[in-house]
Amino acid sequence: MSERQTDEIRDPKALRALAHPLRWKLLQLIGDEEVATATRCAEVLGESVASCSYHLNMLAKYDYVEHAPGGQGREKPWRLVKRRQILGMSGMDGEVALAAEAATEAFVDNEFAQLKARLRRESLESEEWQRAIGLIGVTTFLTAEEVVDVRDQLDQLARRYADRVEDPSVRPPGARSVRLFLATTVAPQKRPAD
């Protein structure tokens, strides 16, 4: 069994905990800032402190975040337990599949909202960054095995820089937080012509 399959979240309650859009925003913010309090989350995300505190506690209940040292109450900082949540639906059915579907939809909604917000401000970036960022869409014909191979190669390429997330000292001068998002989907089977 691949690393990807063993890391998939299979508990329907843990998956449903990720089906709320604010929770993905909280995970992203804490990932970007290393640690954040409910107050800081509310400030950045434009939400109430009570709402952020509630959703952080729900994420903690399913081991997505945990308290970091320092602070008290709503001023107690939170940190990620792990940076990757794998929501694959392979081999799932019933309640687990529905929960994975809801979590995946909330994740994709968050990704696209973030993507659109960043693209809207692209013209404010330097010419160097404007040339560096962009979108690529490719439609081709592949087998399921080939799709897995392409996805795994791109994942390995992106992971070459993963140490920079955890250790700021290895970031080269001028490096900024960059979101790489890859989606592989398959078109529905075509019905044969009558």
The tens digit of pLDDT for each residue in 102-155 reads 999 999 999 999 999 999 999 999 999 999 988 888 899 999 999 999 989 998
What are the pLDDT digits (tens) for 151-177?
899 989 988 998 998 888 999 999 998
What does the alpha-carbon distance between residue 28 and residue 148 come to, in Å, rounded to a whole number?
Answer: 26
Provide the sign of the torsion angle of the four alpha carbons 162, 166, 171, 174, taken in this order.
positive
Q: What count of other Cβ atoms lies within 10 Å of the Cβ of residue 28? A: 16
Domain spans in the chain, listed from the N-terminal domain onward: 3-125
User: What number of residues does the chain have?
Assistant: 194
Report whether pLDDT(3) > 70: no
CATH 3.40.605.10, applies to 3-125: no
SS3 129: helix
